[in-house]
């Protein structure tokens, strides 16, 4: 895991364990940056789940979504998970994405995302999203970060 200080001279950098804890525990959106066919950036707020055993981030999205079509042409992304309330802290980085389309393999991942953000797979929104996975209308984006740039302004450097 390559670590960078996201705000040198101000606040402190997260340790590897702090990055894992932040990504595992946070219910903040992950902002995913992709590049469209006209070479313009697109930012997509998404729900995510972090697998610390593989150091990958999973995002569920529609098979026909703008994210998916952008990533089919260019698998490079930028991501950011940050708390916009003082004292500011967050994790960002660059990486590559694999698009996973097997509904049977994707279903347990999406169930974890629904439990994280909605607390239940019985929630009406969870039912719709899980049905999209079962029907093959949804894919999983598997993000493999190249590095993590972090900051925590609640602690002085």
**Residues 24/55, Cβ–Cβ less than 8 Å:** no
- Position 45 scores a pLDDT of 97
Domains and CATH numbers, the chain: 3-99+141-152 (2.30.110.10)
pTM beyond 0.85, yes or no: yes
Q: What is the pLDDT of residue 156?
A: 74
Cβ proximity of 149 and 91 under 8 Å: yes
Query: Across-strand partners of 44?
Result: 32
Average pLDDT per 10 consecutive residues for the chain, totaling 157 residues: 85 94 97 96 97 97 97 97 93 97 98 97 96 97 97 84
Which has the closest alpha carbon to 59: 101, 9, 5, 113? 113
Q: pLDDT at position 157, please? A: 58
């Amino acid at each position: 895991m390559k670590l960078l200080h996201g705000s040198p001279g101000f606040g402190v950098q997260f340790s590897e364990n702090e990055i894992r804890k932040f990504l595992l525990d946070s219910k903040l959106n992950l902002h995913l940056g992709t590049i469209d066919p006209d070479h313009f950036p697109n930012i997509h707020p998404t729900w995510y789940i972090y697998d610390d055993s593989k150091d990958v981030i999973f995002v569920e999205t529609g098979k026909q979504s703008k994210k998916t079509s952008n990533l089919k042409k260019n698998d490079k992304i930028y991501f950011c998970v940050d708390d916009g309330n003082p004292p500011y802290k967050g994790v960002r980085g660059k990486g590559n994405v694999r698009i996973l389309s097997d509904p049977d393999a994707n279903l347990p991942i999406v169930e974890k995302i629904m439990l994280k953000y909605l607390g239940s797979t019985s929630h009406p929104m969870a039912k719709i999203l899980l049905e999209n996975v079962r029907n093959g209308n949804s894919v999983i984006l598997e993000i493999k970060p190249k590095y993590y740039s972090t900051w925590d302004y609640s602690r002085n450097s």
